[in-house]
Structure 1
Amino acid sequence: MAKDEMGMASGYVSWLSDGANEFPVFVPSGDTDMVTMGIGALTSTRGNEVIVSQLNVDELRGDARSRGLFEARMNKLLGRDDLKVVPLLRAEEGSPGTGLSFQEFRARWKPPVLFYGSIYADDKEATVVRDMSIEEYQAQGGAISWLRTR
């Protein structure tokens, strides 16, 4: 698991909106995909809380079945029923155009728009409203827990 100087997973919190609800998701970050591989995050449907843990081998696939296994394992471990994985569904990139100089390309480039699944309704999508550091999230009343399991 990628860790910061305090031994916790490195990353940040994105606030998402599905049109009716806003909710947080932990986004792991690292220099390469290998650094963040195996990190799983769950969001509470009842409050401003995120749980970060390690995925086991059966949960690494990233499909609906493995997400369900991770949710079930963590909810059982913690005696809860409100923790949900927030799946990244797709990323849509805008094209700045063709035949541009590098400087023009950089000036026009915009980051991709990320679409996540809603933790409240399977048929809804959510998009990023704002990003914040873990420290900002906690200062605004958010709870984040790191659990070492396997």
Structure 2
Amino acid sequence: MNTIYDTIVWLQSQATSHQFPIVQFSGDTDMVTAGWVSLTSIDKPEIVVTQTTAAEHHAIAQGHDGYLQVESRINAALGRTDLRCAWLARVEQSSPMIQGTTFQEFRKSYQPPRLLFRDILGHESLASEASRTTRSEFERGGGKVLVLE
């Protein structure tokens, strides 16, 4: 059975070149994934998946403070200090849109945008996708996903 948190994306820190995992949420509609966040341990291959509170969700819509509130709440609840949120920080377009080209020409030259996330391993740094895997492969490789509902 598939869940909304079955895809693990490995991000690579621009500051340290080390990689860390996050969850890529997916569902039939945005409503299915709204309010879900993942936090990653800076010490081990572990991810905590949870839902935001109404206040956190509202704060996330306003900026990054909501993610920091989630970090604080979940770390306190679990008696930890190592869990961090890697939010989407910036999107860089990889290929310009050229008017007048056919769809086939567009498909040949299209490069998806580059997604840059908060780097949980480097202060004031960003991280980008290095690879992706399934949750089951991640867990078989020694990773752990904890779901707090």
Higher relative contact order (CA 8 A, sep 6+): 2
Show structure 1 runs of 4+ deviating over 6 A.
Answer: none
**AA paired with 2:101?**
L
TM-score under structure 2 length normalisation? 0.89
Q: 1:32 and 2:33 equivalent?
A: no
Distance in 1 (alpha carbons) for counterparts of 2:115 and 2:69: 24
Number of aligned residues = 143
Superposition pairs of residues 22-101 of structure 1, within 5 angstroms:
22-60=19-57, 61-62=59-60, 63-93=63-93, 94-101=95-102
TM-score (norm 1): 0.88
Please state whether the residue corresponding to 1:30 is helix, strand or coil. coil
What's the CA shift for 1:96? 4.9
More displaced, 91-100 or 40-49?
Answer: 91-100
Alignment partners' CA distance in 2, 1:121 and 1:87: 14
After TM superposition, give the deviation of residue 133 of structure 1 in Å. 1.1
Distance 2:91 2:29 in 1: 18
The RMSD of aligned alpha carbons is 1.5
Q: Write the deviation string for residues 33-92 of structure 1: whole angstroms up to 9, x where unpaired.
A: 222101011000110010001111111132221111100110011110100000110111
Q: Which runs of 5+ in 1 are unaligned?
A: none
Fraction of identical pairs, as percent: 32
In structure 2, runs of 5+ residues without a counterpart are: none
1:10 offset after TM fit, Å? 3.2
